[in-house]
Amino acid sequence: YARPVGAEEFPGEPAPRMELGSVRAMERELERCRRHLRRLQRALAEERFKVLYLEAALARAPPRPPALPRRPPGSLWGETESRNVCYPCPLITHLLPGCSPPSSLLLVDFNYGTEDYDAEGNEEPKTLPEGSEAMPYIDESPTMSPQLSARGQESGDGVSPTPTDGLNTGVDAGKGLEMRKLVLSGFLASEEIYINQLEALLLPMKPLKATATTSQPVLTLQQIETIFYKIQDIYEIHKEFYDNLCPKVQQWDSNITMGHLFQKLASQLGVYKAFVDNYKIALETAEKCSQSNYQFQKISEVSGAGVVPWALLYKPIDRVTRSTLVLHDLLKHTPSDHPDYPLLQDALRISQNFLSSINEDIDPRRTAVTTPKGETRQLIKDGFLVELSEGSRKLRHVFLFTDVLLCAKLKKTAVGKHQQYDCKWYVPLADLVFPSPEESEHCPQVHVIPDHELEDMKMKISAIKSEVQKEKANKGQSRAIERLKKKMFENEFWLLLNSPAIPFRIHNRNGKSYLFLLSSDYERSEWREAIQKLQKKDLQAFVLSSVELQVLTGSCFKLRTVHNIPVTSNKDDDESPGLYGFLHVIVHSAKGFKQSANLYCTLEVDSFGYFVSKAKTRVFRDTTEPQWNEEFEIELEGSQSLRILCYEKCYDKTKLNKDNNEIVDKIMGKGQIQLDPQAVQTKNWHMDVIEMNGIKVEFSMKFTSRDMSLKRTPSKKQTGVFGVKISVVTKRERSKVPYIVRQCIEEVEKRGIEEVGIYRISGVATDIQALKAVFDANNKDILVMLSDMDINAIAGTLKLYFRELPEPLLTDRLYPAFMEGIALSDPAAKENCMMHLLRSLPDPNLITFLFLLEHLKRVAEKEPINKMSLHNLATVFGPTLLRPSEGESKGHLTLASDIWSHDVMAQVQVLLYYLQHPPISFTELKRNTLYFSTDV
C-alpha cells in the first residue's frame, strides 16, 4: 500500500490511507484523484469569483485597492508543480521593456512534471548552472547572439538547429523507446497544467462579457477582446492535442505513433504569432484596467493560488519554447526508421522557425531560418521587379533564398505601424524551371505604353526637379517642397512601372507560370544565374505550412538588402545626382572565349531609376578575339553606372521568343562599373577592363559635361560642310538642300527606315568621324562609302551635321519667338504665330527644315517596326535644330545637370508641333502673308 503522507500535512485530523494492491491500481487511483482535484479547483475558483464580484458590485464607495498579494513559497499550481523552480521566459522583458513580471511568476514550474528526468534522459535530477537560461531559444544559428544559446554552454545541453544531427546516433533502440514514454509522460503532465492555466485565464472572460452589455459594465468589449485575445483558440488547440495524446501515453506500446499530433500542433502556431503580436498591449490593458477599475482588480485576484489571471498571459509564449525542446528530445530518442521520425522532424523545424521569427525582435542579427532539410536558409538576392499579374503591371519585391523564390508586396500600414510584406506566391527552387523561348507560352496581352508618353513623363519629372531646386534655393516652404517631392515620386513610380519591356518567365513544374517585365537583359541574366547556381545543389521539393510561410514572409522585412524603390526622389539630398552630359566610350577588344563565335557588345546606363540600352557594336564573326575598336557617344541622364554585356549572335530564326518575337542571343558575359565623376571628368581618355565570367573586355571612356558638348563651334576652314553656315554651303553647292542632308536621308530611307531605334541608337563614333572627313573633303567615294557604312553611323552623321551648325537651323534670332509661340494656349493664335515664324526663316534654312520634316514623318510611319514615334524623333532632333549657339544661349541654360530643362522641353515641343502638322508646302507658305509684326 502507499506510504501515508506526513501528519504535518493534515494537522488535527488523521492522514488518509490508500490500500492499493498493484501498480496498475495506483495509476488508476492517481488519475481519479487528478480529475477530482481539477473539478474542485474549478468549483472553488468559480465560487470565489462570484463572492468577489458581488462584493465589488454592492460596494457604494470602493475602498483604496489593496496591494496584490505575494504568493507564499509553497503555494503553487497543483501538487505536480511544487518540486522545481524555473525562471520567466526571456521574451517577457523584451515585450515589456522596463516591466518585470510579478515576483510570483518566478515560482511557476515549467519542467516536464517528473523529478527524475532531464532533457538528456539522465536518471538523477539535474541542477542548472548559475546564470544559465532555463527557457532556451531553440533555433541556434551561427548568427545567434551568445546569450540566447540554449540552456547555456556549461550545461552541455545545447540544442542543434539541425534536428537530424546527432539525435539518436548509437542509442539503444529499446532504451530510446522507453525514454520516449518518459518524455511524453512528463510533457503530458505539464500540458495538463498548461490547460488548467488557460482555463484560469478564461474564467473571468464569460461574466465580464455578460456585464459588458449592461448599463454598468466592468470592462468594454474591446478591452475584453484585447486582454483575452486568442486565448480561447489556444485553449481549444491544446485541449484537442491533450485529449488525443493522453490515451496513447496511458496505453503505451513500442510501436505507437503520435508524430502527426505534434505536426498538427506545430501547423497551428499561427495563432501564437497573433497572440505574441498582441501580448504587450494585452498586458498593458490588463494592468491599466486593474489600476483604474476596482471591480476588475478584485475579479483579477480570483485565480487558484492568488495569482491574477492576466499575470499568466506569458504562459502561451513560454509554451512554444517548452514544446520545441520536448520535440528535440523526442527526436533524440526516436529511431530514424520509426514512422514518427519525419513527422517530428517536420514539427521541430516549423517550431524552430516560428521561434526564430519571434526572437528576431530581440536580436536583429538572427536572420537564419531552417529549410526542410534542416539546413540554414539564407537570403541570397532581393530586388524590385515588375510582375505582369492579371493583365496589369504590379511592382513586387522578390526574395531569392537558398531553396525558394518568394514574391511579395509591401502592405499598406497605418501610421506608426511596422511595415510588413504580404506573400503573393512562392516557388521551391527544386520545382522552378525556365521555359526556353520557343517553349514559352504566348505572352498575355500587355498594354505597352508608347515611347512618347514615357518621354513626356521624363520631362514632367525633370520640370518638378527644377521646381524643387528653385524652392530650396529660395528657401521656400518645406510643405511646398514635400508636395513637389510627392508628385515627383508618383511620376517616377509610374515610369518605373511602365517602362520595362523585357520578359522574364518563371515556371513552377507543378503548374503555374509567372511573368516579370525587366528594363534590362542584365537583370534577367543576374536573376537567372543566381537561381541556376543554387539549383546545382541537392534541393528537395516541399510545401510550406501557413505558419512557415508567415514566418518566412515576416523575416523578409529585416533581411532585405534593397530597402527603397529605385527612384531619385528616394535619394537623400547629399547623394550623388549622377552625371549629365555625354559619355564617349570606345569598345576595343575582348579575350577569354573558349571557341569561335559571332560576338558583339551592348552598352547600358542607368536613367530615371532603371537601365537603358544605349549602344551596340557590330557583330565580329567566327573569332575568339574580337577587335571592335568602335567609339560611341552616350547621353547620360543622371547616370551613375555603365554596363557592358557581351553576346553571341544567334542567326537561327527558329529560336524566337514568343513574348516579344525576337531572336534570343546568348549572353557570354556581363559587367558593371561605377561612373566616378572625379575619374571620368577629364579631357583625356581613361582606359579600363571589365572581367566577366573569364572574359575580359577592354574599353576606354571620357566624359563631356552637357554645357560643354552643346557648344556650337564654327569651323575655322570654310571649305567643308561641318561647322559652316547652311547658306554658305547651299550657295557653294548651288543647291536648295545641303548635299550631306540629301545623301544621308536617302540612305536611311533606302535601308534604315525599319531599323529599330534609328536616330536613337548611337552609331560608331569612328565611323561617324570618317564620314565627316569624307563630306568635308567632298571626296568622290562618298556614295560607295555610304553604301558600305553601318546605317546608325549615317544617321549619327546627319545629327552631327545639324548639331555642329554655327547657328541652329531655326536661327538664333527667332529662338525666343519660337519659345513664346509654342507656349500660346489659343490654337488659332499658335497656328498663325508658328507659321509666320517659318516664313521668317532664310530660304535655305526653311527648305532644309521642310525636307527633314517630311523625312522624319516617313520614319514615324514605320513606328510599329522601328519603334520611333514622332515624339521620339522630336526628342532626338528638337534640341539639335533649335538649341541656340553659345553666345545666344547665355541665360537659357541654367544647370548643367538639367537635361530636361524648360528650354529643352520647349525645343522638343516646337519640332513636335510641326511634325504633327499637316504637310507644309514651301510655295504655299511663302504665298500667304500676315498682317502683324514679325516681332512676336
3-class SS string, 393-430: EEEEEEEEECCEEEEEEECCCCCCCCCCEEEEEEEEHH
Looking at the predicted structure, is the pLDDT value of residue 184 above 70?
yes
Looking at the predicted structure, is the pLDDT value of residue 595 above 50?
yes
How far apart, in whole angstroms, are the C-alpha atoms of residue 886 and residue 884? 6
Q: Which of 134, 42, 123, 39 is nearest to 85 (CA)?
A: 134
Residue 765 has a pLDDT of 77
Between 830 and 471, residue with greater pLDDT: 830
How far apart, in whole angstroms, are the C-alpha atoms of residue 151 and residue 159? 8
How far apart, in whole angstroms, are the C-alpha atoms of residue 181 and residue 178? 5
Q: Which of 280-294, 452-466, 862-876 has the highest mean pLDDT?
A: 862-876
CB environment 609-637: b (16+ within 10 A), e (fewer): bbbbbbbbbbbbeeeeebebebbbbbbbb
Q: What is the mean pLDDT of residues 735-753?
A: 94
Looking at the predicted structure, is the pLDDT value of residue 67 above 70?
no
Residue 382, classed as helix, strand or coil, is strand
Residue 745 has a pLDDT of 96
Q: Which of 76-90, 198-212, 603-617, 737-751 has the highest mean pLDDT?
A: 737-751
Comparing 579-583, 682-686, 781-785, 827-831, which segment has the lowest mean pLDDT?
682-686
Q: What is the mean pLDDT of residues 518-537?
A: 91
How far apart, in whole angstroms, are the C-alpha atoms of residue 786 and residue 800? 16
Confidence of residue 101 (pLDDT cuts 50, 70, 90): very low
Comparing 100-109, 155-164, 383-392, which segment has the lowest mean pLDDT?
100-109
Contact 237, 268 (CB under 8 A): yes
Q: What is the mean pLDDT of residues 690-713?
A: 78
In this prediction the pTM is 0.54
How far apart, in whole angstroms, are the C-alpha atoms of residue 788 and residue 346? 69
Contact 609, 566 (CB under 8 A): yes
DSSP letter at 676 equals -
pLDDT digits 0-9 by tens, 335-344: 888 888 888 8
pLDDT digits 0-9 by tens, 19-54: 777 888 888 888 888 888 888 877 776 676 666 556
Contact 339, 527 (CB under 8 A): no
Confidence of residue 124 (pLDDT cuts 50, 70, 90): very low
Q: Which residues, at least 6 apart from 263, have a Cβ–Cβ distance to it below 8 Å? A: 343, 344, 346, 347, 350
Looking at the predicted structure, is the pLDDT value of residue 705 above 70?
yes
Share of the chain above pLDDT 90, in %: 23
How far apart, in whole angstroms, are the C-alpha atoms of residue 808 and residue 796? 17
Residue 437 has a pLDDT of 58
Share of the chain above pLDDT 70, in %: 71
Strand pairing category for 627-639 and 579-591? antiparallel
pLDDT digits 0-9 by tens, 464-474: 887 887 787 77
Q: What is the mean pLDDT of residues 182-207?
A: 82
Q: How far is CA 308 from CA 70, 73, 301, in A?
A: 10, 16, 5
Strand pairing category for 641-648 and 597-607? antiparallel
| Number of neighbouring beta carbons within 10 Å of residue 32 | 10
Confidence of residue 94 (pLDDT cuts 50, 70, 90): very low
How far apart, in whole angstroms, are the C-alpha atoms of residue 815 and residue 903? 10
Confidence of residue 91 (pLDDT cuts 50, 70, 90): very low
Residue 476 has a pLDDT of 67
Q: Which of 476, 634, 638 is nearest to 569 (CA)?
A: 638
Looking at the predicted structure, is the pLDDT value of residue 71 above 50?
no
Strand pairing category for 627-639 and 620-623? unpaired
Q: What is the mean pLDDT of residues 606-623?
A: 85
Find how far residue 722's CA is from the centre of its chain: 51
Q: What angle do CA 288, 291, 292 make, to 5 degrees?
A: 85
Which one-letter amino acid corresponds to residue 278?
Answer: N
Residue 897 has a pLDDT of 42
Radius of gyration of the chain (CA): 39
Instruction: Name 662's bridge partners.
Output: 657
Contact 355, 382 (CB under 8 A): no
Looking at the predicted structure, is the pLDDT value of residue 483 above 80?
yes
Residue 500, classed as helix, strand or coil, is coil
Between 153 and 761, residue with greater pLDDT: 761
How far is the first Cα of the chain from the last one, in angstroms, to the nearest whole number?
Answer: 120
The mean of the pLDDT values for the chain is: 75
